[in-house]
Amino acid sequence: MTATASPQASKHWPASIYRRPDGGVERGLSPARLRDMVRAGEGELGVDVDSNDLHQHALLEKVFDFHPLAVEDTLSPRTRVKLEEYDRYVFVVMAGIAFDQATPDPFDLHTSNLYFFLGKNFLVTVHGVPSAGCDAARDRLLHGPDLLARGAEMTMHHIIDQAVDAYFPLVEELNGMVDGLEQKLFEEFDEGLIHEIFKAKRSTFGLRRHIGPLREVLNILTNRPCGYIRPETQLYYRDVYDHTIRLMESVDTTRDLLAGVLETYLSQTSNRMNRVMKQLSIVATVALPLIVIAGIYGMNFSRMPLIHDPLGFWVAVASMAVVSLAIVWWLKRRQWL
């Protein structure tokens, strides 16, 4: 079985592959051919649209006749992770997450949405940045249409599964960085570490903000009857749903660990402050008698003991030294010093 490509393929046409009911495979379909495949409702069609190409993106409404609101969502990077059901298809949004290598902050996250339009015999994916899941699915389809032969919903499962699996090393890396913060905190106290802790908390909440809704989306795809996903295929979505549960547990563990790191930081800060206050209190305690003695002999009276004695100054200094040493001895005896 060989795949045939259109001789007039244009660079503005989206990547596409179609498995005919007779088993034949076509790729690089023209917009007119795509429209015919969607209307026929036969075979299995997979289309990958680059939202940065306005010609490709226009096909979502002109060829596939998707709802304008759903098409508008594919252009907004702030579209939340969700699932919406329409008459001829379901619209699914998920987020791809990675650490942003373009910023010096190791905790910065870069997110990009991946959109799915799943119909009776077609799957249209839309994304603005390269997607490893889409690339892997396209390569697999080009080398062998066995995945597409199992239905468009299995192709969507394959892409979502690839994207969810990519979350695991991300969460593990974040856990490793949090462990590093904890170790650094115990080795040497650094006041600037509080900034790193809150950056890690921001990344953790960012992960949870995307994985949590995705878990609900997969729960719906797994348990709710859907005309575009067969019951036997829902079992595969259940496996991905289990992965999201594990991810949420890992993220929650990281969040709890960060709470413990923050509590440790605050405890160390409080201990350091108490230590400083203790030292200042000792200095004040030792200096107070000296100030009293100096204040007494500094009063403007003509008649005072030793006021006119040649050794009066040295007697006052000696008394200050004796009192200071006595106070220090008493503090050490009480184990306050």
Residue 227: inside a domain: no
The residue from 98, 118, 149 where one domain ends is: 149
Interval 126-148 mean pLDDT: 67
Average predicted confidence (pLDDT) for the chain = 83
* CATH assignment at residue 76: 3.30.460.20
**Cβ-based neighbour number of residue 218 at 10 Å:** 25
Tell me which range, 145-149, 254-258, 270-274, 277-281, is most confidently predicted by mean pLDDT.
Answer: 254-258
pLDDT at 180: 87
Residue 2 lies in a domain: yes
**Dihedral, 44, 49, 55, 61 alpha carbons, nearest 10:** 60
28 Rama sector, left if φ>0, alpha if ψ -120 to 50, beta otherwise: left
**Residue 248 domain-assigned?**
no
pLDDT of residue 52: 87
HSE at residue 320, side-chain half, CA atoms within 13 A, is 16
Domain of residue 296 covers 281-333
Q: How confident is the model at residue 332 (pLDDT cuts 50, 70, 90)?
A: confident
Q: Is the pLDDT of residue 301 over 60?
A: yes
- Decide if 138 is inside a domain: yes
Asked if residue 59 belongs to a domain, the reply is yes
pLDDT at 9 over 60: no
Residue 217 resides in a domain: no
Residue 165 has pLDDT above 70, yes or no: yes
CA distance 105 to 110: 12
pLDDT, mean of residues 216-231? 87
Pairing of strands 122-127, 44-50: parallel
CA distances from 269 to 37, 100, 229, 265 (A): 67, 31, 56, 6
pLDDT for res 145: 59
pLDDT, one tens digit per residue, over 42-99 is 888 888 888 888 889 999 999 999 999 999 999 988 889 999 999 889 999 998 888 8
CA–chain centroid gap for 143, Å, is: 34
pLDDT of residue 1: 42
In a domain, 134, yes or no: yes
List the single range of 10-14, 66-70, 237-241 with lowest mean pLDDT: 10-14
pLDDT in tens, 143-162: 655 667 788 888 888 889 88
| DSSP string for 180-222 | HHHHHHHHS--TTHHHHHHHHHHHHHHHHHHHHHHHHHHHHHH
Domain at 319, CATH number: 1.20.58.340
**Number of domains composing the chain:** 2
Would you tell me the crossing angle of helices 54-62 and 31-40 to the nearest 10 degrees? Answer: 30
**Residue type at 280 in one-letter notation:** L
- Of the three residues 95, 118, 149, the one that is the final residue of a domain is 149
265 SS3 class: helix
Q: How many angstroms separate the CA atoms of 120 and 88, rounded? A: 7
Say what the pTM is.
0.77
Show which of 149, 169, 203 is a domain's final residue: 149
Is 87 domain-assigned?
yes
Helix (H, G, I), strand (E, B) or coil at 329: helix
